[in-house]
Amino acid sequence: MSSSDSLDALIQALRRLPGVGLKSAQRMAFHLLQRDREGARVLSRALHEAAGSVQHCARCHTFTEAGVCHTCLDPKRDATRLCVVETPADQSALERTGAFKGLYFVLMGRLSPLDGVGPKEIGLQKLMERATNGAVQEVILATNFNAEGEATAHVISEALKSRGLHVTRLARGVPVGSELEYVDLGTIAHALADRR
């Protein structure tokens, strides 16, 4: 299509990235080749490295180069609390708050039957084993507060409660720093219902 086969191959490869169509891929390829060849080389190496070395932690499922991640191996973490999140990005947001000292279980997705993501794909059985290991006293569900995240939390909650486990959910409420008049009504309603 263009005057260079390597350029065409690069554009096609960039289109495999989520949210990147033909126009974005062309713009990215142009930028890298015209203004940031070093960036192209850095990205090439990072992809090669990550694709070859990143695996899943045997205990919490998050991405790690080791068999078990450093969070799971950290003896200072509180093993009685297990926080369930959808992705490593959600886990790292929680870590940045510094407010949670327990351990994690990363679903690596959320229930989405239409996309073929069922209980098996999010590792529900593994989570059950992990949560009933004798050490865990509370499972905190920190899936997202959208339809699929709520449905995922519901299914996990039912399964864990049937084994007699104490299950909690992150509080819904007014974001810190917000002015009430600009907060959406559903959030205010939840904040009222969950008032403390």
Distance CA 2, CA 6 (A): 10
Task: Assess contact for 148 and 110: CB atoms under 8 A.
Answer: yes
Is there binding between residue 84 and Zn ion (CB under 5 A)?
A: no
The answer to whether 142 touches 83, Cβ cutoff 8 Å, is yes
End-to-end, the C-alpha distance of the chain in Å comes to 63
Residue type, 129: E
Q: Which does 194 bind (CB under 5 to 8 A by kind): a second copy, Zn ion, none?
A: none
119 vs 188 by CB, closer to a second copy:
119
Closest distance to a second copy from the beta carbon of 83 (Å): 14
**Alpha-carbon distance 139 to 165, whole Å?**
8
Q: How far apart are CA 132 and CA 125, in angstroms?
A: 11
Binding partner selected for residue 4 from Zn ion, a second copy, none, CB under the kind-specific 5 to 8 Å limit: a second copy
Contact pattern from residue 105 through residue 134 relative to Zn ion, giving x for each residue in contact according to CB under 5 A and a dash for the rest = ------------------------------
Give the residue, chosen from 11, 29, 72, 124, that forms a contact with Zn ion under the rule CB under 5 A. 72
* Residues 17 and 29: beta-carbon distance below 8 Å: no
Does residue number 59 form part of the binding site for Zn ion (CB under 5 A)?
A: yes
Q: Are 160 and 139 in contact (CB under 8 A)?
A: yes
Kindly list the residues in this chain that would bind a second copy in the complex (CB under 8 A).
Answer: 1-7, 9-10, 12-14, 16-19, 23-24, 26-34, 36-37, 39-51, 53-54, 57, 62-65, 69-71, 87-89, 91-92, 96, 108-109
Kindly list the residues in this chain that would bind Zn ion in the complex (CB under 5 A).
Answer: 57, 59-60, 69, 72
